[in-house]
Amino acid sequence: MGEMRVVPCPMCGRVAGQKAIRAAGSTYIKVGEENFWLGPQTFDPDKPFGVIMESTGRGSLHKVGTFDPWEDQVYFPLVKKRLLAVIKEWTKKGWVSQTEVAAAARGVVAEFSFHPEKEPKKV
């Protein structure tokens, strides 16, 4: 049996690790793998808060617009509360420092490196 490592999203709890790359036109022929977490690294920082979708029947959805936080009283308060809870949790666990959080708030996101005293032991 092989070992598989996955990481839950700190925001929503969905689990991701290696993502299968499928052959073109196939739903089952796997031709490779890629780290799922590389994808979110390239998200557009200028993306809208939300997307407005319209159902046209038979399970199809089409984007009809976007919305900003101040236009939403359903999702934004919950998403913001969860985001701040994640920052608090990670700070408390020592996974991110207050300095890193403050720098990110100013728009500076540094490359991550382990703190020598907390670096995982190699097996």
**Residue 57's pLDDT is what?**
82
**Residue 123's pLDDT is what?**
43
pLDDT in tens, 50-65: 999 999 888 889 999 9
DSSP 52-110: EEEE-STT-EEEEEEE-GGG-SSSHHHHHHHHHHHHHHHHHHTSS-HHHHHHHHTT--P
pLDDT in tens, 67-94: 999 999 999 999 999 999 999 999 999 9
pLDDT in tens, 23-47: 888 878 878 888 888 888 888 889 9
pTM of structure? 0.71
Mean pLDDT of the chain: 84
- Give domain limits for the chain: 74-118
Q: Is 25 left (phi over 0), alpha (psi -120 to 50) or beta?
A: left
Helix (H, G, I), strand (E, B) or coil at 4: coil
**Residue 21's pLDDT is what?**
82
pLDDT higher than 80, residue 22: yes
pLDDT higher than 60, residue 116: no
Mode of pairing for the β-strands spanning 7-8 and 15-16: antiparallel
3-state helix, strand, coil in the chain (%, to 5): 30, 25, 45
- 106: its two tokens: 């100013």
Helix (H, G, I), strand (E, B) or coil at 7: strand
